[in-house]
Amino acid sequence: MPKIEILSPAGDFEKLKIALLYGADAVYFGGQNFSLRANAKNFSLEEIKKATEYAHSLGKRVYVTVNIVFHESDLNGLKEYLQELSNIGVDAIIASDIVVIRLSKEIKAKYEIHLSTQSSVLNVGAAKFYQNLGVTRIVLAREASKEDIKKIKKATGLELECFIHGAMCTSISGKCVLSNYCTNRDANRGGCAQICRWMFETELSNTPFQMTSKDLNMIPHIKEMIDIGVNSFKVEGRMRGIYYIATVILTYRRLVDKIQNNTLKSSDVAYSLDVLNRCANRDSTPQFFEALPTNKEQYFLGRDEISNQDFLGLVKEYDEQKKMVIIEERNIFHIGDTVEFFGPNMETFSMKLSKIYDEEDNSLDVANHPGMIVKIPVEIKLHEFDMMRLKVFDKADYV
């Protein structure tokens, strides 16, 4: 079975580092120009160089998004920017506009060209068109069905990348103008105001109306996707925090590894679904993979998105001699709470908090100041960047 890539978003360098440590084979992010996430921090050329060197030191890959829809004025500096990316040694760019593909060929760029989901490829003809332009991988439209994927793979042999987790676009990805119309912010140039998540009053009902898709979650279909030829599993979320990135990437990493080692159990799938559904605070579904979505795959008359406070702390270091973990607190926790520790180099385990100390070794009943440094006695060795969360699910219950 070929190596299956887990591809993570990286909104900044901290998120990039977490993603790679927690099992991503590659990361994608935008530069400060030509990227569709204008509200993300994004990376300067110097930061792109730093990120690329760091990823390569781990044997992993970096993809830079250059995927806005280009108006004439947007072309200023594009050729020079692409040359800089080539000189830095990024592994690929993710492009949607033919001008970017042609310029990359013109400068004989050393990176691969991956076609963005913004191009909405859903058929063999479109895939072959871009293949003839020099694209080596296609990020299929989120609306691609299982049959679409199979046909495109068989006809082209191209590398195929599919979104497996995260937010959906209510319109066909890349074709929405609601943001432009309502706010004059261009969704296809990085300014989407997410109008589909707004609540609208109507004359027909006292209940506010919206048109929001539920999140994408492909946990039940990962093996099937591998079997039909998907090469890269892409997670959405450059604006998400490190807890979300760590949880989602580690969950899919372990799931894919178990599939490839023939050790996957139905209990692993059930547990993973519960963990990821809680992590996102929104309902999720496989969306278009097996059939066209129905009203069950969307929100129309309201939704609850209560942000949980499961992420309790980030491990800074572990004192093996004292059996003490030093944690940067993120959400409130108390003596007596049952918590879980998880990380990329350990099995998840739980324990009840019996003692908490501050930096001066004073005993505490509660850690209630985000960012404060606390110490907790823990017998099992932990590592920097492991995380502590509230225990909600017991894996032993999934049989």
pLDDT in tens, 146-193: 999 999 999 999 999 999 998 777 777 767 777 777 888 776 666 677
Given a cut of 90, whether residue 349 has pLDDT beyond it is yes
80 three-class SS: helix
**Confidence bin at 285 (pLDDT 50/70/90):** confident
C-alpha–C-alpha distance, residues 338 and 326, integer Å: 17
Cα(213)–Cα(3) distance, integer angstroms:
31
* Integer angstrom CA distances of residue 122 from 38, 39, 128, 165, 371: 26, 28, 11, 19, 46
Q: What is the mean pLDDT of the chain?
A: 90
For residue 38, pLDDT beyond 60: no
Query: Is 301's pLDDT higher than 80?
Result: no
CA 140 to CA 214: how far, in whole Å? 19
Rounded distance between C-alpha atoms, residue 119 and residue 100, angstroms: 13
- Where do we find the tokens 């959906």? 168
For the purposes of burial, counting CB atoms within 10 Å of the CB of 136, is it exposed (0-12), middle (13-18) or buried (19 or more)? Answer: middle
Question: In Å, how far are 28, 159, 227 from 230, measured between CA atoms?
Answer: 18, 7, 8
- The CA distance from 225 to 70, in Å, is 32
Q: Is the pLDDT of residue 224 over 90?
A: yes
129-143 mean pLDDT: 96
pTM score, whole prediction: 0.91
pLDDT on residue 282: 72
What is the C-alpha to C-alpha distance for residues 268 and 248, in angstroms, rounded to an integer? 14
Sign of CA dihedral 152, 157, 161, 162: positive
- Choose the most confident range, by mean pLDDT, from 27-36, 121-130, 390-399: 121-130
- Mean pLDDT on 206-215: 79
What's the rounded Cα separation, in Å, for the pair 222 and 200? 36
Residue 214 has what pLDDT? 81
**For 42-97, how does the pLDDT look when each residue is reduced to its tens digit (9 = 90+)?**
799 999 999 999 999 999 999 999 988 888 988 999 999 999 999 999 999 999 99
